[in-house]
Chains A and B, each alone.
Chain A
Amino acid sequence: QKEVEQNSGPLSVPEGAIASLNCTYSDRGSQSFFWYRQYSGKSPELIMSIYSNGDKEDGRFTAQLNKASQYVSLLIRDSQPSDSATYLCAVKTSYDKVIFGPGTSLSVIP
């Protein structure tokens, strides 16, 4: 079992819809969770961090964490073509290492 798993996609959503990106992790002791966005040919940029169970909202982005289910998600409301990118989930494990998932490719169709 890989430490951080994401559906590779591509995930296609129409413009204006909600995009839902999912991530599961194997280390039950993980405490910190991050979402990064990576445009093609560019380096990743940090979108959000989440540390507690529940939802955290920042503009059109909402991160959701459920530690009992070892699941973290990112919702993008009112998706725009400019949101088309690969989204990386990262998890800080109990052994103090940040592990990145393979990423989910999102395509927002105008």
Chain B
Amino acid sequence: GAVVSQHPSWVICKSGTSVKIECRSLDFQATTMFWYRQFPKQSLMLMATSNEGSKATYEQGVEKDKFLINHASLTLSTLTVTSAHPEDSSFYICSARPSEASYEQYFGPGTRLTVT
């Protein structure tokens, strides 16, 4: 149980274009999902907390107009990187909490974004 999927697993896009990443909880409903970014050899950086039916909460320093998050259902959250630039190239990982009572998070496999 507690399986989270992400799509796509990797994507290459040109500078200035937008990319959408999907995160799905496959066998549970997730009121809360999280989006992280990780640069090579560095630790996880929380970008935002996504709550179903409400606006996402962004961490300090993360541009909400650049990283659009939509949590339209209890099993799907999307992250759209708008007007991507090479410095946005990174490993983007989502996670979900199967239970609001527990703070265990289950991670998706990640999406590797390369902006050329």
**B-facing mask of A39-61, CB < 8 A → 1, else 0?**
00011111001000000000000
The residue in B93, B103, B107 that gathers the most chain A C-beta atoms within 10 A of its C-beta is B103
CA distance A44 to B44 in the complex (A): 9
Q: Mark out the residues of chain A between 60 and 110 whose CB falls within 8 Å of any chain B CB in the assembled complex.
A: 88, 90, 92, 98, 100-103
B interface with A by C-beta (< 8 Å): 43-44, 46, 93, 102-110
CA distance A44 to B96 in the complex (A): 12
A interface with B by C-beta (< 8 Å): 32, 34, 36, 42-46, 49, 88, 90, 92, 98, 100-103
Q: How far is the CB of A3 from chain B (nearest CB, A)?
A: 12
A32, A45, A49, A102: the one contacting B107 at CB < 8 Å is: A45
CA distance A46 to B106 in the complex (A): 7
A32, A88, A92: the one contacting B44 at CB < 8 Å is: A88
CA distance A43 to B95 in the complex (A): 10
A42, A43, A98, A103: the one contacting B103 at CB < 8 Å is: A98
Q: Are B44 and A98 in contact (CB under 8 A)?
A: no
A32, A43, A92, A100: the one contacting B43 at CB < 8 Å is: A100
Q: A34-B104, A42-B110, A88-B44 are in contact. List 15 more A-B contacts (CB 8 A).
A: A34-B103, A42-B109, A43-B93, A43-B107, A43-B108, A44-B44, A45-B107, A49-B104, A88-B43, A98-B105, A100-B43, A100-B44, A100-B46, A101-B43, A103-B43
Residues of B within 8 A of A32 (CB): 102-103
CA distance A44 to B36 in the complex (A): 11
CA distance A42 to B103 in the complex (A): 21
List the A residue with the shortest CB-CB distance to B49: A97
CA distance A88 to B107 in the complex (A): 13
